[in-house]
Amino acid sequence: MDRLTAETRIAELTKQIERHNYLYYVEDRPEITDAEYDQLMRELLELEGLFPDLAQPDSPTQRVGGEPLPFFEKVVHKTPMLSLGNAFNEDDLRDFDRRVRQAVGSQTVRYVCELKIDGLAVSLHYENGLFVKGATRGDGTTGEDITQNLRTIRSIPLRLSEPLTLEARGEAYMPKPAFEKLNKEREERGEPLFANPRNSAAGSLRQLDPKIAASRQLDTFIYSIGDLQGMRVESHSEGLALLESLGFHVNKERRVFSDIEDVIAFIDGWIEKRPSLPYEIDGMVIKVDSYAQQQELGFTAKSPRWAIAYKFPAEEAITILEGIEVSVGRTGTVTPTAILKPVSLAGTTVKRASLHNEDIIREKGLLLGDHVVVKKAGDIIPEIVAVLPERRTGAETPFSMPTHCPECGSELVRVEEEVALRCINPMCPAQIREGIIHFVSRTAMNIEGLGEKVVAQLFNQDIVRSVADLYYLHLQRDELLGMERMGEKSVDNLLAAIEASKENSLERLLFGLGIRLVGAKAARVLAEHFGDMDAIMQANEEELTQIDEIGPKMAASLVNYFRQPQAQAVIERLRDAGVNMTYKGIRVESGADLPFAGKTIVLTGTLAQMTRQEAEEAIARLGGKVTGSVSKKTDLVIAGEKAGSKLEKAEKLGVAVIDEAGFREILDNN
């Protein structure tokens, strides 16, 4: 095929595929089969492969996800994405209506009522109809650039039906079927389950690898125009109609009312219908329709006066406390969990609820067999909110926390100043098992394929009894192949992931060891300061406490851990297996003559010649410390293009400011 023919066909395919995306993901009325759709995509991919320069930024092939990002850039919102004030009952809504009518006088007021989608607020920017940037809400003023991830959502048009420049705002969410499918897959892989669709949507969009977001079947509902150039819109309902005509997915379950009592009746109807929706909602949003009236009503410091969010009451259910199960965590903490007669609550079946510690059981007056009221805190975590003593029959029995560890039989102790009981036996099987799960987790050694269920199998079959055993699994390949759901490919992938983890920098290993009180940040500080494992192991409490962020309790915990023969043996086995024991991260150079020595520095705006991470690394090498906010303690602000509120605050406080050219000059001279 010649170039001109290819260019014409690529344009045709792009238009066809995006139309079918709209019909499938927005209108829910597909016109072709999945196989026919796949054939169109294959043809487009083949043509773009032959003529890479003809691939357009709005090509449907851009939705599959590009290369992983090192970090997310910050985005300053031109107009703040404010949160809404809340209404919790009918009187709150009537008060809102009264305030609105008092402010606008004799004018007719119309309200637009929309479902409040339980997802992640996002901002979408288009220039001349082309999608150019997408960001999270963040703190309302500054969010994160997640353009690559948002491109993977097929209900987001990459090119609008008209060449408008605008900002659209909405909610990214995970439909219930996609959430259930994702959790089923994670359960099969032995990975932790997501608590709810909102968490899974937020977690998916904050993945640095856009291919993960692309696999999660996310969707959006667009609910407002943040900025619009070249066209005038008079009302919110008119704006929603425009967004719909441009190709956005706008929720159709919306109504316009002139009477607040009609609004209340509409809300009451949705409280009943809520569970039937294929996505989660946690309330309703009520907005004054007229943009002129919105402008007249204005804003408070935190929210608009022309809108309010009605929060559905937390769904409650009554069930029976059938038992209390105690489990032992990796640090030996013993945690009780309520075992409930299964009950439907907020769209899920609840069987368990956390009780946190023995004091909670005592405070609530719980007896085994009690009828209890259960709700989901924030519609997420099941908790027992009340006991119904009037329903007691006399058959209920008190619960006592065990005096000995349910896993190893060691006597439990209550450490001074702590509420929880703790098993202090370092050889406790539960602690070892939970410790291995922590060791392989993403924030520690990040070994893919080792979820909780796989670790439990390895542990229960005596294949792995310490974290060091993981690095000798290549010698037990036959045993691995005999495990449930472990075929040739799974075993190869697992062994490759274990081998790759040997190259991790020291701070990951240090955090993965699960030393009490030593979190990820402290592990990095220690690794950077000492440089290798031997130096950390030999340090005494006095040497440790001289380091910023290492207090006496953490120092004592470190010294006590490394004194244990078992810990020393594990580290030696890790070393023998080839696990890296040195710090590979950036070292802050010492010396008072460094230009940023001892200085606290804030980066704001966009740098043209380097990424934010490169700038932070350069500052660290020259003795500086980068923080995220400007205060009186800030020594210097480095302002790139489009620097916003941080630059303004620095100027108000009299903090020194340099631009990117000044920053580059300092780097070039050093």
| Residues assigned a catalytic role | 116
Count the Cβ atoms, other than its own, within 10 Å of residue 523: 23
d(CA 285, CA 114): 5
- The terminus-to-terminus CA distance of the chain in angstroms comes to 54
Chain centre to alpha carbon of residue 490: 27
Do β-strands 281-288 and 307-311 pair in parallel, antiparallel, or remain unpaired?
A: antiparallel
Long-range pairs for 532-535 at CB < 8 Å and ≥24 separation? Answer: 532/506, 532/581, 532/582, 532/583, 533/506, 533/509, 533/571, 533/575, 533/581, 533/582, 534/581
- Which amino acid would we find at residue 310? Y
- Interior CA angle at 326 toward 323 and 331, to 5°? 165
Q: How many alpha carbons lie under 13 Å from residue 376 in its C-beta half-sphere?
A: 19
| Token output for 615 | 């700038």
Count the Cβ atoms, other than its own, within 10 Å of residue 118: 20
d(CA 482, CA 114): 54
| Token output for 441 | 């987790």
Q: Are 108 and 257 in contact (CB under 8 A)?
A: no
d(CA 378, CA 306): 25
d(CA 301, CA 602): 25
| Token output for 75 | 């985005």
Residues 6+ apart with CB under 8 A from 458: 436, 464, 473, 483
Q: To which H or E segment does residue 602 belong?
A: strand 600-604
d(CA 119, CA 496): 36
Closest CA to 470 of 485, 455, 451: 455
Tell me the torsion sign for CA atoms 621, 624, 630, 635.
negative
Chain centre to alpha carbon of residue 580: 30
Residues 6+ apart with CB under 8 A from 165: 126, 127, 128, 129, 228, 229, 230
d(CA 297, CA 435): 56
Q: Are 228 and 205 in contact (CB under 8 A)?
A: no
